[in-house]
Every structure is written in C-alpha cells, then in structure tokens.
Structure 1
Amino acid sequence: MAVVLAGCSSTPAPAPALPPVSTTASPPVSTTASPPVSTITTTTPPPPPSCAEQTLAGLDPAHRAAQLLMVGVPADNPTAGRTLVTAAVVGGVFLRGRSARPVTEIGSDVAALQAAAAAAGTLPLQVSADQEGGQVQTLSGPGMPAIPSGLRQGRLDPATLAAQTTAWSTALRQAGVTLNLAPVADVVPAGTGAANPPIGAVDRQYGSTPDVVASAVSTVVTASRAAGVGTTLKHFPGLGRVTVNTDTGTGAVDPATTVDDAALGPFSAGIAAGTTAVMISSARYPALDPRNLAVFSRAVVTDLLRDRLGFGGLVVTDDVGQAVAVQAVPVGDRAVRFVAAGGDVVLTVRSSDAAPMTAALVATAAADPVFAAQVDAAVTRVLQAKVDAGLLSCG
C-alpha cells in the first residue's frame, strides 16, 4: 500500500506496523434456520343452532311456507278450524269475528285446537285476536274485563293503564291467545277524527300527539308482555291521516308521512318496549314509496321498519283476505310480495286462502334462491316468536 505524505521533507517516513493476522479459524456460521416463534391461534367455534334454527332444518318447503300464514277461525267456535291446522298446517290462527262466550270455554276450544295440531305432528299455533278495546275487541264474555276505547285508555295515568292491561291480557292468556293484535300506534291529529274512518271515527287512537300515543303504547306493550301475551303495533307507518278505510275501499293515501316523521315515534317507543310484532297497513305512502302499497313495499318494511327503526321481530300484514285495498292482487301474489318486501306473517280471515298462498310461496322459493332465503329468514323469526311465547322448545 502506497502512502503519500504531504509536507516539505523529501525523506519518506517509515510505514506504520500492521497488526498480526490471526490464524485461528472463526467459528462457522450456522446455516440452520432458527426455530419459529410459537404462535398460539384460537378459533371461536360457531354458536350452536338455536331452537328456531333446529326446527327450521326439519321442515320441508311446504311446511316452511305454511308457517308464514295466520288464518282466520271463528272466534265463537275455534275448533271449526281443526282441518285447517291439521291439513294446511298453518303457523297461526286468528280468532275472527266476535264472541261473548266465557273466556274459559274459548280457552278449552283453543287448547283442543292446539292438541289437534300436536296429534297431526304439526307445530304449536300462534293464536291471535283483535283485543284493543272499545268497538274493537274479539272477546267480551264472562271472565274478560271491560276494555275502554283507545282514546279513553290514553287519558288514564300510566299506573292505571298498566293495571288494566294486565287484567285483560291475563284473560286473553286464559283464552289461549298468545298474540294480541294491539296496541294501535296511529296518531290522529286533533280535530280530524271524524274524517279518519279506520281509526279516529271509532276512537281507536290513544291521542292526537305522538308523545301521548307513545307513552300509552309503551305502557301497554310492557304490561301485556309481562302477563304473557305478545303485542302487535299497528298500523305501520300509520293510518291516522288517511280518509279511506283499507278494509272497505281503495285509495287510502297518506302523503305526509316521511322517514323522519314525528308520527313514527309511537312505533319506535313500542319497539323499544319489546313488542313481538308490527302490523303493516295496506295504505299508500308516496313519500316513502310512490309505487306500492305499504304491505308490498320494501322501502316501508325493510328500509324503514327493519333498517332505520331497527325492528327485528315479526312483521305482520293487516288482513289481506277480504280487504278491498288488495283485491286487485292475486291471492298467492299477496303472500309472495309481502315476504319479498321483508315481511313474515300473512294474515287472512279467509281459510280458503291458505292453499293458494302456500303454493305460491313454495313455487317462488323453488325458482328463486334469494326469495327462498327470505322465506327461511321469515320462518326463523316466526319460530323464534313461538319459542319466546313458550309454545316451542327443543331438548
């Protein structure tokens, strides 16, 4: 190595001594890979299937479709529906009409109907009735306390309303009813009752402001559920502003209701209180869906009720058997269009509707996997409601 030194001297300086080179061999570098660091991974096993899911798995397509039907049987003689529940294997019955027979006698008949279903190997029935009060109450015989109109109930203090609700809900349970098609959550604006034939004209509403109605709805839902009877909020998203009764005419339209309407407050309150079901009206709400009746509207049933309001329970039709508002739609299509919108239970007062509705649901599900999945989801909700009501259990 040459080293050049800067300076004036011409005599080179001696080179510095280098350190001796070691002749000892370096230890070899290992080429063996280091053992991997132990990583513990855990996988959470999926939860076991619920009772509702287990039951669903054992149902064929026809039985699944039939679980989505709630069909009318005479309130004064429920055992007249024996063939309906053993042959059509419907999921529920509706005590249609009126009865002044003792509550205990109605209960015996309903028990016989449940026994007939069990003997035929079908699932227990969800049994419903219209027991609002005033002019709308299915049962009024001995053992059933007198029930004032909705408007009078709304004027009671919460403690009194809760006590009265407990009394008539207990009587309903004795009659074998597991689901009351009440309370009415519709708001009828002050001074408009006479022009509102389905609700205000017969005092079915609790009041004329959302706050009053919401308070009464919460009280009734809570007390009824505590007495062992499920509740149904109706008629979503509200019939308080229409001027036509959907049972008797067409053209029921509410142009005012929007997704953030204050009149939806009572429905939200009832959902928060734990209602079993919500009933969909057969009116039209152009600000929500300009094309479809609410009962056939995905915008109303799924987007608004399920997604925006967060309701995961049963969604039920108003009567789609005799109601004039839906007569333009073929019987089977009424069931299909409702389930496609996100609904669960198709209510009809006519027992003759069971066969065409079941057939239409089965055929559509067989042709459309998306619809088949909607049917399964709806049936699961129906079965879960039966579990919650103590009707269905799994070992």
Structure 2
Amino acid sequence: MHHADRHLSCRCPGRSPTGRGFCCRVGGSVWRALWRSTLRRQLAADGKRAPLRRPRGDHARDPPSGLVSARHTARPGRDVTVIPAIKAAAVSAVALTTVAALLAIAWHLKHPLLYAVRPLETPILLAAAAFGGVTAVRGRYGWWPAGRRSLVLCVGALALLTLGREFEFAATRHRVIEGSDDLRTLGAHFVVGFREIDEVEALAANGLIGGVYITRRNLRHGLTALAADLARLQRHRRAAGLPPLIVAADQEGGEVSHLSPWLERLPPLSSLVRDTDPAPLVERVRRYGERQGVGLAKLGVTLNLAPVVDLRPALADGRGDFLTALASRAIADDPTLVGEVAEAYVAGLADAGIVATLKHFPGLRRVHADTHLRRASLSETPEALEPDWLPFRRLAVTTETAIMLGHVRLAALDSEHAASHSRVVVRNLLRREWGYTGVLITDDLNMGAVYGEGIDRVAAQALAAGVDLVLVSYDPEQYYRAIGGAAEALARSEIDRDVLHASCERLTRLRARHSPGKDQAPETARG
C-alpha cells in the first residue's frame, strides 16, 4: 500500500466498507495530489521525466537513468523520488524551525536572559536573516519549493522585526535622555545598575535616576576607581542642586557578597547563631554589622540590601529556588531569633552610616518557585503568615530600615499582582495596618516573576501603589522601558502625584540618615 494511503482507524461518519470515511478519502486524495505535484516540479526542475513509481517485473532492478544515485538503490515497488523529497522537506523544516526560534528572540529583543550577549544580539539576528534569504533565493541545499517561499517570507519578517525592535528601543532611550519634568519626577524613584560609569553619568547629573546599584561587574578596575567614580557622580548631583544619589549594594555576607573579594567577605549571619563564642550574640552581630558597614561606607555605599529576614525553610521541602538559595542565606527558622539578630545587624550598619534593607517581604519561606525565573504565590491567609512576618513587623517599628518587596503574590489579598506592585499590600497592609512609614523598594524588575508582565507596566503599578524605589539592576537597559512606561502612566493620571510627593519625603528622610562620604576616593581603599 502506498504510504499516502495508510491510515489509522477512521471514526468519521459515512465510512465505506473498507473503514475509511468520506473526509479520509478526500484528505488522502488531496495529499497524494500535492505529493505527486511536488515530485513532478522537482523532476521538471532537473530536466528529467520519469514515472512516479518504479516499473515492476523484469526491469524492476533498472531504475530510470539519472533518477536514482548509486547510494540510493531502490527496492521493488519503492518510489525512487521519495529520498530527494524527504531531504527537501527535512531541510525546509529545519530552516523554518530555526527562523521561528529567531523570530521569538527578535520579538523579545533585549530580554534580560540574553543580557550576556547583548552587543551581539542584533548583528546575529540580521546576519541570520541575510544568510537565510540568500540561500533560499539561490535554491541551494535541495529546498522544498513551498518551504523555500515560506523561508523567504520568514527571514524578511525576521529582519524587519529585529530592526523595528531596535529602533523602538532607541526611540524610547532618546525620549528619556532628552528629559522632561515628568521624567525627572519619576527618575528620583529609580535605582539603576550599570556596567560602565558613562552609562549613568548623564542620567545622574540630569536627575533622571535617584540611585545606582553596584556589584562585582563594576569593580573590574578596582575598588579605588569605583569609589572615585561614585564620588564624581555625587559631585555632579551637588552641582545640579540635586539630592545625593542613593548607592545600593547587595553585601549580605556568605555567598551573597557581591562586592567581594574587593571588600572583605564575611561569613553569613547564620554562622554567628551557631558560633560558640561566649560573647553575647547581639554584641557579636552588632560588631559584624559595623565591620561590614565601614567597608561599604568607604566605597560610597549608602544602602545595603540586607539582612535576609525570611525564615529558613526545611532543606527537603521540594523547593525549586536554586538561584535564591534561601536555605543558606536565612538566619534561622525561629522568628524571634531572626528578629533579634537582624535588629543587632541593622544597628551595626547604622553605626557605620549605612541604611539596612529587610528582605524579601512577604517572605519566601513557603514559596516553592524561584522568582528569578517564574511567578510565585502564597495561598496562606495573613493570619497564617504572621510568624513569617514577625521579624519584618518588629524591625519596621523599632528601627529605621527599608523593606524590599519580593515578587510574590499574596493570593488572599491580591491574586492579580505581586507584593512588589500591589496597592492592596502596600497601602492597606503595610502603610495602613502596620503603620510603616519607611522606604519600600522592589526586588529587581528584571526577574522572571514580573518581567513577563511588561517591565513598563510593573514599574508604573509599583509607583502608583506607593513604592518608593524601583530597582532595575541586572539589565540596566531595561530602565528606559520601565521609566518610559511610568511616564505614560503619569500622563494618563494613573499615578497620583500626591503619592509621589509623599514618597519623596520618605526618600529625603532616608538620605538624612546617611552622611555622604568625601568627594575623593579613600586612600585606604584597595585596588
């Protein structure tokens, strides 16, 4: 039986005695016609004419001249043109699948997951489009005719989409750099990462950002060079009559020590809990915080994104947080102990002039998804989460710290938005019920839990909710999309200007708790 006639058991109405229904008979006829038409076109292109099926009988072993190569000796009854057709279809399928994948990348051009190859992203896509177009037009590699036409259309779409996305981003960036009163109003609420200081120098001088985030990639030229760069940014701010930049870092101790080894790498806070030192725990933790804070202050840091006050989860609870690694970062699983240790650590940082940040509210202990990669939610009620929130509530009242909002949804309060951009969580729970008057900062908006919702939309919702600082650290170029979306929301009155004004007052109080360092880089800093 011809392979086009093979069929599974047919269940359509009107089946014939052979078991094939009307739709199957028609579909089979159409498929055979298309298949034979394709083979005829291929033979015509090669200047050959031959029967579509091998002759049977005495001459079955003698294929038509030039139709079958020595490598493809056909068996009796086998279609001698099947192998070239399969090859053409396979080449076309592989090419179209590759272009489809490249189209998906072009649609998400400048995605944070591709940040490592950002300089090569657009050139690679355009080169792939050019190569695919040339090979398809020239008809090499045995293209299936329909596949070749489809490929030409796809690579054209790939080139247009890539250029369109690139121009769209360039236009957004240009609008932001030009600056406007609304952009400067919003810029005071953005903390942005960078690779080279030139990327943020103009933004800082023009009031388009309120702070910068520094990490290991900024220390390629050494500690002294980075300290000098940060001091230069602060001088630009003073010359422009702007408040000092907030300089944030992520120096928890242990594995999350993003400024080490340039700054001293201290063990995690949890190690102090297990330590057998006879000195009181609170005293040891406070000295630890001050020691860490002195190094940060010499560099020019004003806000440390620590401590982690999430309760430690069980090691075998099925967590999928290999990027968060909460089990090794959390202080302990006892909320009272976590509160005591965190309070002493915050006091130690304050002794060195550094403001601490409690993270990651509403807590990651019960979360089994990694918010770096995908959405996560908590199904428990606020009453059930009270033990997890005890360290946050204790320090929110007794200390002057910031709180980092994680990208976790509190389903019982707001199932539509993560805590980082939820009005219900920010206004009703934290501001009204808890009475918290400190600074709220989001976790990085490049994280997968919220980036897929649109970084422009999430940034606007966070500011509208009353969040004070929006963090865009891993992929700094996303800042332009984020503030662009916030500016559009402000123009549509989706962000209340009174909310922004109240937020600015909280940021002023935050800056007042820190005395900026000297303009010059410290001589004691190690390169």
* Equivalent of residue 378 in structure 2, options 243, 254, 257: 254
Counterpart of 1:307, as a letter, is R
**CA distance in 2: counterparts of 1:273 and 1:97, whole angstroms:** 32
Distance 1:199 1:355, change over 3 A: closer
* Equivalent of residue 332 in structure 1, options 456, 477, 480: 456
TM, length-normalised to structure 2: 0.58
**CA distance in 2: counterparts of 1:69 and 1:301, whole angstroms:** 18
2:346 matched to which residue of 1? 221
2:194 matched to which residue of 1? 73
Answer whether contact 2:464 2:496 (CA < 8 A) is retained.
yes
> Is the partner of 1:71 in helix, strand or coil?
strand
Once the two structures are superposed, the pairs formed by residues 57-206 of structure 1 within 5 Å of their partners are: 60-74=181-195, 78=197, 81-87=200-206, 89-98=208-217, 99=219, 103-142=223-262, 144-156=263-275, 157-192=281-316, 195=319, 197=321, 199-201=324-326, 203-206=328-331
Counterpart of 2:230, as a letter, is V
> Is the partner of 1:312 in helix, strand or coil?
coil
**CA distance in 1: counterparts of 2:429 and 2:223, whole angstroms:** 38
> Is the partner of 1:206 in helix, strand or coil?
coil
Counterpart of 1:131, as a letter, is Q
Higher relative contact order (CA 8 A, sep 6+): 1
Runs (5+) with no aligned partner, structure 1: 1-58
**CA distance in 1: counterparts of 2:220 and 2:255, whole angstroms:** 14
Q: Deviations along 1:123-164, whole A, 9 cap, x unmatched?
A: 32000000101111121135x333112432443522111111
Distance 1:174 1:108, change over 3 A: same
TM, length-normalised to structure 1: 0.76
Counterpart of 1:111, as a letter, is A
1:387 matched to which residue of 2? 512
Distance 1:318 1:266, change over 3 A: same
Q: Deviations along 1:69-116, whole A, 9 cap, x unmatched?
A: 000023xx5565323323562000011345487544432221122223
Once the two structures are superposed, the pairs formed by residues 266-345 of structure 1 within 5 Å of their partners are: 266-320=391-445, 322-345=446-469
> Is the partner of 1:381 in helix, strand or coil?
helix
Q: Deviations along 1:227-285, whole A, 9 cap, x unmatched?
A: 100011000010112122111x2132222351561110110122133233100000122
**CA distance in 2: counterparts of 1:174 and 1:353, whole angstroms:** 29
**CA distance in 2: counterparts of 1:147 and 1:193, whole angstroms:** 28
Counterpart of 2:456, as a letter, is G
Answer whether contact 2:353 2:513 (CA < 8 A) is retained.
no
1:359 matched to which residue of 2? 484
Counterpart of 1:168, as a letter, is Q
1:372 matched to which residue of 2? 497
Distance 1:356 1:370, change over 3 A: closer
Greater shift in the superposed pair: 230-239 or 289-298: 289-298
1:31 matched to which residue of 2? none
Distance 1:190 1:353, change over 3 A: closer
2:355 matched to which residue of 1? 230
Q: Deviations along 1:326-353, whole A, 9 cap, x unmatched?
A: 1222222121101122211000023323
Runs (5+) with no aligned partner, structure 2: 1-179, 276-280, 518-527
Q: What is the aligned-residue RMSD (CA, Å)?
A: 2.6
Answer whether contact 1:131 1:181 (CA < 8 A) is retained.
yes
Counterpart of 1:65, as a letter, is L
Distance 1:101 1:193, change over 3 A: farther
Q: Deviations along 1:11-68, whole A, 9 cap, x unmatched?
A: xxxxxxxxxxxxxxxxxxxxxxxxxxxxxxxxxxxxxxxxxxxxxxxx9432211001
What percent identity do the matched residue pairs reach?
29
Indicate the structure with greater helix content: 2
Answer whether contact 1:194 1:200 (CA < 8 A) is retained.
no
